[in-house]
Amino acid sequence: MKCLLYLVHEFAWQPFQQTWPDSPIAATSGAVDEAVVVFLHAEEEDIDKPKLVTKLVKQIKWLAGKRDLKTVVLHSFAHLSASNAPPEFTIATMNAAAERLQSVGYQVQQTPFGYTCAWQISVVGETLGKVFKSI
């Protein structure tokens, strides 16, 4: 799994175009303030990684702790690798990560899966404001 993680002052998304025919029709827009935004790309080899969700959640919590943030946005971003896991695996991974984070007090939102989105993003300036991680 490849991840781009951002510490943001503001992040907003608006669905633009459906790209996966099985995605929900009623895609919604949203916005958050002071959050960790995770652009993630599940790869084919991730299917055989039993600790994948644990490692993803640990990375998110580590970065969130740098600014004592409790809001997380998960966004599927299939542009970080040539290898792609099946969409169903990616959705299941995102949902499992969201459930784990919510169980320990995080507010988690997910952008509409299977849609391209327009974004408005305000990333903090410090070095840890932008982190790339291969999990």
Domain holding 31: CATH number? 3.50.80.10
Is 117 inside a domain boundary? yes
Is 133 inside a domain boundary? no
Strand, helix or coil at 92?
helix
Residue 26, pLDDT score: 67
Residue 27, pLDDT score: 74
Is 129 inside a domain boundary? no
| pLDDT, mean of residues 94-118 | 96
Is 26 inside a domain boundary? yes
Is 128 inside a domain boundary? no
Residue 24, pLDDT score: 76
Percent helix, strand and coil across the chain, each to the nearest 5: 30, 40, 30
Residue 8, pLDDT score: 98
Give the contacts of 36 (CB within 8 A, at least 6 positions apart): 5, 6, 7, 8, 60, 63, 64, 69, 71, 72, 73
Mean pLDDT of the chain: 95
Per the structure, the count of domains in the chain is 1
Statement: residue 2 has pLDDT above 80: yes
Instruction: Find the domain containing 55 and state its range.
Output: 2-123
Is 103 inside a domain boundary? yes
d(CA 43, CA 55): 15
Closest residue by Cα to residue 99 from 112, 108, 86: 108
pLDDT per residue over 108-131, tens digit each?
A: 999 999 999 999 999 999 888 999
Residue 49, pLDDT score: 95
pLDDT per residue over 7-63, tens digit each?
A: 999 999 999 999 988 887 767 899 999 999 999 999 999 999 999 999 999 999 999
Is 41 inside a domain boundary? yes
Residue 23, pLDDT score: 86
d(CA 27, CA 7): 24
Is 43 inside a domain boundary? yes
